[in-house]
Every structure is written in structure tokens, then in C-alpha cells.
Amino acid sequence: MPPSPLTLHALVCVALACSAPAMAQAPPPATPPELTAWTVTAGAGLALTSGNTDTSTVNASYEVVYDPPAQYLIRSDGLMIRGKNEGELSADRLGLNVRSELSLNERAYVFGQNHFLRDRFKSIDYLLAPAAGVGYTMIKTPDTTMAVDLGLGGVWEKNANVGVSASGSLTIGESLSHTLTATTSLTQSFSGLWKTTDFGDSLHVFSLGVSATMSTRTQLKIEVLDTYKNEPPLATVQKNDVAILIAIVYKM
């Protein structure tokens, strides 16, 4: 970080008082704001059990955020969960999101997003849901941020052994982040998607997580993820899935 103006002033005064010529290195050029606006994190976790049952579950995640000192923000994140129970596949889920936001003022913003989901055990080969809408930051303090948004878009869903269905969509989102201590933070989010051709056919995702700092760049994160599909494509598919994820997260 370049020296502050007070530090530079003090150095000049000392040099003049001593009347001694000195060769000083120029401070390194400041990093352009657009290069410091990137935040990249990656996480991975593994759970194993043995004895009466042999299970293994892996999860991997990423988040990329571009937040320059301007009125817009771009974020992309993803989560993969894959598990086996007694050698048989018991979980196979991949979710990806990309989102951009443009601030209208300190609280209100407009957004565009695209959501992708593949979940073998919900018989979802893929679900693609682009949307755009408006949002509002209800709470904005140094320790707590809470925002809600409402959007309209479309949804294309391909289920196992079934063709692609298309519909308009209504989306609702909510997110909360809160700093508990200097090393611990809480995050919570909810997203809901309703098909306009059948409002009973909806998808809801709720998450609650706690992160604890382990070092300057690493965190331990524990998260509960609840995925609810109101009208599964098959009668044998359960509506609700809950996963508990434990991962080490690295900030680049």
C-alpha cells in the first residue's frame, strides 16, 4: 500500500532537517481499482463413514465476484454434490448461477441472472431459468446486509424420460449476511421459482451457513442446504432433499 500523506510529510521533514541527500525508491504504483475488484473463492469437502454402512460424499464449490467501485456487480457461483452409499450412487447434484446487478441508488438495484440445475435424484436432467427484475437492500450496516428481489423470466426443464417443458417464471430471492465475531460470519439465503403455466410447479432452495476463519485465506464452512420441488416429475421422487455440507474454503 502506498505511504499515506502524513508519512510522506514526516519523511520529507526528517530529510530536510538532517540536510543529508538520500536516494529513495519510488513507491510501487497503486493497483488499478478494476484489478482489486475481483474476489475468487473455492471450497471442497469430503465425508466418509464405515461400519454398519459405508458412505462417502464429496462437495466442491466456487464463487467469483467482480465488484468495482462503480454501480454494478457481477457474481457467479456453483456447487457440486456427489455421494455413494454402500457403493451405490446416492447423490448427484450440480447447480450453477451467474448474476449481474446495477445500482439505482444506495438501496435499490436491477438485476439479470441465469440459473442452471441438474439433479439426478430429482429426475432433473437440466433446469435452465434466466430472469431479470428489481431488488432492494433492506438492511445495510457494517455487520449486517439483507436484500430481497423479485423477477420475471423463463424456465426450461428436461426430466428423465420426458421431453423439455417451457414456461414463463416468477422468482423471489432473499439473502442475509451477518458478522457474528471478528472471525465468524453467518449467511442465509432463499430462492423461489414458480412456473407461470402451473404455479403449483415450483422450486425452492434454502441455505444456512456458518463460516469460521482458520487463516488469512482459509475458512471452515458448515452449511445446510434444503431443496424442495413441489411437483416432482415422478411419484417415486421425494419433494424434499436436505444436505449438510462441511468444507474448507480458500480465498484467492
Place of cell 465425508: 47
Q: Which domain holds residue 243?
A: 32-251
User: What's the pLDDT score for residue 30?
Assistant: 53
pLDDT at site 137: 97
185-210 average pLDDT score: 96
In a domain, 151, yes or no: yes
Rounded Cα–Cα distance for residues 194 and 207 (Å):
18
Q: Are 12 and 47 in contact (CB under 8 A)?
A: no
Query: For residue 132, how far is the Cα from the chain centroid?
Result: 18
pLDDT of 193 > 90? The answer is yes
5 lies in some domain: no
Average pLDDT, the chain: 86
Taking the C-alpha atoms of residue 196 and residue 155, their distance in angstroms, rounded to an integer, is 9
Q: Is residue 49 part of a domain?
A: yes
Percent of the chain with pLDDT over 90: 67
In this prediction, residues 181-197 reach a mean pLDDT of: 97
Cell of 26: 519510488
Number of domains present in the structure of the chain:
1
Residue 52 predicted with pLDDT over 90: no
Lowest mean pLDDT, pick from 22-26, 48-52, 158-162, 227-231: 22-26
Residue 19 inside a domain? The answer is: no
In a domain, 145, yes or no: yes
Question: Which of the four pLDDT bands, split at 50, 70 and 90, describes residue 13?
Answer: very low
Cα 12 to Cα 237: distance, rounded to the nearest angstrom? 74
Banded pLDDT at 189 (limits 50, 70, 90): very high
The verdict on residue 14 lying in a domain is no
Per-residue pLDDT, 88: 84
Q: Are 241 and 30 in contact (CB under 8 A)?
A: no
What band does 200 get if pLDDT is binned at 50, 70 and 90? Answer: very high
Q: What is the pLDDT of residues 61-118, one digit of tens each?
A: 999 999 998 889 999 999 999 988 878 888 899 999 999 999 999 999 999 999 999 9
> 98 is written with which cell numbers?
451467474
Q: How high is the pLDDT of residue 49? A: 62
The closest alpha carbon to 97, from 80, 75, 119, 82, belongs to 75
- Looking at residue 1, its pLDDT comes to 45
Identify whether 23 is part of a domain: no
Smallest CA-to-CA distance from 173 within 116, 112, 222 is with 112
Question: Would you say residue 32 has pLDDT above 70?
Answer: no
Mean local confidence (pLDDT), 121-137:
95
Mean pLDDT value of segment 35-44: 87
Q: 236 lies in a domain?
A: yes
Q: How far apart are CA 76 and CA 89, in angstroms?
A: 28
What confidence score (pLDDT) does residue 85 get? 85
Q: Which CATH number does the domain housing residue 202 bear? A: 2.40.160.40
Q: Are 128 and 108 in contact (CB under 8 A)?
A: no
CA-based end-to-end distance of the chain: 18
Q: Which pLDDT score, from 0 to 100, does residue 50 have? A: 62
Least confident of 50-59, 86-95, 154-163: 50-59
Buried b (16+ CB within 10 A) or exposed e, 84-98: eeeeeeebebbbbbb
